[in-house]
Structure 1
Amino acid sequence: MELFIIYFFLCIFNVILYLFLFLHIQCLGAQWIECSMFIAGVVAVILCILLLRQ
């Protein structure tokens, strides 16, 4: 149960962090590193959703 709570808070943190990055650094105007960070964040969020659905 503790592990689930940790995953849940990591999910929320990831969503907020990457929404912030996306809104302030539009991918087209960003450097490649920032863009790849955003893509990694989206992947992390999708993995979180899959974990929470189980």
Structure 2
Amino acid sequence: MNRRKKIKQLLTAHAKKASAKLAPKRKSKYISKADRLKLEAEASPEASVSAES
């Protein structure tokens, strides 16, 4: 591998990483199982109250 190719490869890798940082994230933030249960518990009483009314 000659010098030009190495430099070009490094520059393209850096550019690719920089553009990946700026791109919107595909995955949503991880929510732990305990947090998911808490959110579900908070949402379920409200849903049951509105269903009874």
Name the TM tier (shorter chain): 0.3 to 0.5
Tell me which protein shows more helix as a share of its residues: 1
Q: Which structure is richer in relative contact order (CA contacts within 8 A, separation 6 or more)?
A: 1
The structure with the larger Rg is: 2
TM-score by length of 2: 0.41
